[in-house]
Amino acid sequence: MANGTPGNDNSSGEQLTQWLKEAGQRAGRSAPGAAAGDDGDETYNSPASLHRYLEELAGRPLRSHAEVLDFLEQVAGGEHRAHHDQRRQRMVREGTLLFMLAVSYLHYYYWEVQVQIATLKSVNTFLPAANLRPVKGVL
């Protein structure tokens, strides 16, 4: 992602604009007589050809930066939302499982302690009541 934060809706558009700027700078630095594809790289596209390709895909002219971003959001927006929903469901599921694991462990621990307490041998001690002891000097 452009700024390192997942879930940023404009990051793909920002990456595209950054790529277009860099491609324009590379094209400006290349030799004036050399064509863009002379180095044998068939995947190279100039910013103008990429813009024409995006317009063909959109089926309408994309005149501004905002229109290009809107088109990219339309194309990739559903996948991002679906990925976000799946990630959210996974987090809820894992959180629920961790909570249930903690509760089941505590439940087991509680009952284990109760069973151990119940199996302890009891020690019965008898103490005489305080009012039944003979009092010295009263007789």
Read off the pLDDT of each residue in 76-82 and give the average, rounded to a whole number.
70
By three-state DSSP, how is residue 37 classified? coil
Q: pLDDT for 53-64, tens place per residue?
A: 888 888 888 888
Global pTM reads: 0.35
Q: Which residue has the higher pLDDT, 124 or 134?
A: 124
Q: What is the pLDDT of residue 46?
A: 80
The DSSP result for 76-111, as a single string, is HHHHHHHHHHHHHHHHHHHHHHHHHHHHHHHHHHHH
Q: Which residue has the higher pLDDT, 10 or 128?
A: 128
Domain boundaries defined on the chain: 11-32+43-118
Rounded to the nearest integer, the mean pLDDT of the chain is: 77
